[in-house]
Amino acid sequence: MTKNSETSYNSEESKMKRFKLFASIVAVSLLTIGFGSFANASPTFHEYSGKVQVISDLETNDAVKENTGSAYNLVTYIQRGKLVSWVEKGARNVTTKGTYSERTTIPMDYLGNASSLIGENVHLNISTSPGTFETVDTAGTWTPN
């Protein structure tokens, strides 16, 4: 091998090492971004518990809608009777209503364009169902997403 061919070879080897290092950094970065996005896709659940009066609703604190998904009410306790839950923005119903009388998960689909509510404060509303004439204790978690 001549000196010029050794220099050329070393130069090519150096370029290849730098390319591999660059490719590794890019791959790790993309994986990190991908896993970070996956972790952020998990919905945030909010706890509630209380008494649902016959003449007044139980309303949770506001929560921010983070994506275009449906809302869910995961009922972990219901004393007796039948309840109805839905999501409101202010005093306006923004989801379908779900009726239940036992521990269950209630999906509530948004009426209209759910993406228009991203970043907005909404809350869960729980009421006694027609035919339930007593106060009902309940508990669970819910997500606006």
pLDDT in tens, 56-87: 899 999 999 999 999 999 999 999 999 999 99
Q: Let me know if 24 is exposed, middle or buried by CB neighbors in 10 A (0-12, 13-18, 19+).
A: exposed
What's the pLDDT at 8?
A: 52
pTM: 0.72
Of 65, 60, 74, which Cα lies nearest the Cα of 94?
65
Residue 19 has pLDDT above 80, yes or no: no
What's the pLDDT at 39?
A: 47
